[in-house]
A and B are shown apart, each in its own frame.
Chain A
Amino acid sequence: MVAEKIKLRRTMMYVSGSSPANIAQATIYGADSLMFDLEDSVSVNEKDAARFVIYHALKTIDFGDTETVVRINAINTETGRQDLEAIVRAKPDVIRLPKTSCAQDVWDAEAMIAKIERNIGFEEGTIKLMAALEDPSGILNAREIAKSSKRLIGMAIGAEDFVTSMKTTRSPLGVELATARGLLLMACREVGIYALDTVYSDINNDEGFLEEVKLIKQLGFDGKSCIHPRQIKPIHQVFTPTIKEIDYAIRTFGAIQEAEEKHSGVIALNGKMIDLPMVERARRVIRLADAAGILDGGAYGC
């Protein structure tokens, strides 16, 4: 059986609506998703112009296989509501809701989007949603937000606002984010949606960046938002299974097959018993490798 390819969301690269020069060729750096921003990177006086830029770009430019996400302004503002009117019609894959604090925020957005979809003849549910949790209420309500909508494909943590409301700042080890990351991750995993980590702002600190990527990979995140093309390759390298991991996964499946052929009840590899979580992890390694395009022979019976 060949499993359907899983959607990779290792990298979501910000592209500001205020600079048209960076939009058309944003795909070349290989980010899994592009996030066109109408919110924080656009000044108050330029919101209208940026909206037109992203609207026309999405309608005109072929972004190929790259997932398109638009971060709109908060929908409890007139700007945010106008963003929705424009952007839904330009049909990105996903709309990202900023500063989501509770399930009601998602429901409000969903209602407005559904209404527009009905008006313009899109199938209801065409536009997916992502929620960014950026304050303590958002994090504490992570569980209800995660369950709030079928449109919701993932949640992201927005650390800059969060640490400010926590009366602290960001630090290299990220201890100030430990609880928030953990809560967000568990909420995502409970319902099976993607968990995405926050941006790393110092684009010249390659070492610090890599440390943080390794940390969030180990925590269990699916990927990370990034603000510069140079951040993409390191994230992909950390999130792509190593040859050793792939090899181990393949041998795990080999051992299972062997056990089945021998009708043996116990499955072992190198004298170590293979249990269900190990099979699950091996399956994930293979699917990630496959999605990253680094598997030679196609599917491995998973």
Chain B
Amino acid sequence: MCQITKKSYAGSLESSDVLVQISPNPGKGLEIDLKSTVKRQFGNAILATVNDVLREFDITEAFVSIDDKGALDCTIRARVSAAVCRAAALTDYHWKVG
């Protein structure tokens, strides 16, 4: 299991990007707060991606705030991954093929 040890963020509020902020959430499990300019069309898809990345890192306790400006799925994946690595002080990410 991977621990969120400090508040951290990745991304930006520029168009087609997303700002992801992750902070410790002691005793309260996973909480995700989603704001998005495309929430009606892609809200569920964004949440699925965020959850997918958190699962990959085995994060079970964190407060995740997503402020999305219409980022593509691969960008959301990249920003959440970067934010997790920073917030958990991970240096040896397991890069995968395909």
- Physical contact A–B (CB less than 8 Å): yes
Query: Which residues of A line the B interface, CB within 8 A?
Result: 19-21, 23-24, 48-49, 52-53, 55-57, 59-61, 85-86, 89-91, 120-122
Residue of A nearest to B86 (CB): A48
Query: Which residues of B line the A interface, CB within 8 A?
Result: 10-11, 14-17, 71-75, 77-79, 81-82, 85-86, 93, 95-98
10 A-B residue pairs with CB within 8 Å: A21-B16, A24-B74, A49-B78, A49-B82, A52-B78, A52-B81, A53-B78, A56-B78, A60-B73, A89-B96
Give chain A's interface secondary structure class: helix
| A48 CB contacts on chain B under 8 angstroms | 82, 85-86
Max count, chain B CB within 10 A of own CB: residue among A52, A53, A59, A86: A52
Q: How far is the CB of A114 from chain B (nearest CB, A)?
A: 15
Residue of B nearest to A122 (CB): B97
Residue of B nearest to A121 (CB): B97
**A59 and B17 within 8 A (CB):** no
Q: How far is the CB of B63 from chain A (nearest CB, A)?
A: 20
| A61 CB contacts on chain B under 8 angstroms | 72, 74
**B77 and A56 within 8 A (CB):** yes
With the chains together, A59 CA to B74 CA distance in Å? 8
| B15 CB contacts on chain A under 8 angstroms | 21
With the chains together, A86 CA to B74 CA distance in Å? 15
**B74 and A49 within 8 A (CB):** no
**A59 and B98 within 8 A (CB):** yes
**A49 and B72 within 8 A (CB):** no
Residue of B nearest to A61 (CB): B74
**B85 and A53 within 8 A (CB):** no
| B71 CB contacts on chain A under 8 angstroms | 20
Q: How far is the CB of B35 from chain A (nearest CB, A)?
A: 18
| B10 CB contacts on chain A under 8 angstroms | 49, 52
**B78 and A19 within 8 A (CB):** no
**A55 and B78 within 8 A (CB):** yes
Residue of A nearest to B71 (CB): A20
With the chains together, A89 CA to B14 CA distance in Å? 28
**B75 and A20 within 8 A (CB):** yes
Residue of A nearest to B93 (CB): A86
With the chains together, A259 CA to B72 CA distance in Å? 60
| A24 CB contacts on chain B under 8 angstroms | 16, 72, 74
Residue of A nearest to B96 (CB): A89
| A52 CB contacts on chain B under 8 angstroms | 10, 77-79, 81-82, 85
Known: A20-B17, A52-B82, A60-B74. A86 touches B97 (CB 8 A): no
With the chains together, A89 CA to B97 CA distance in Å? 5
With the chains together, A271 CA to B82 CA distance in Å? 68
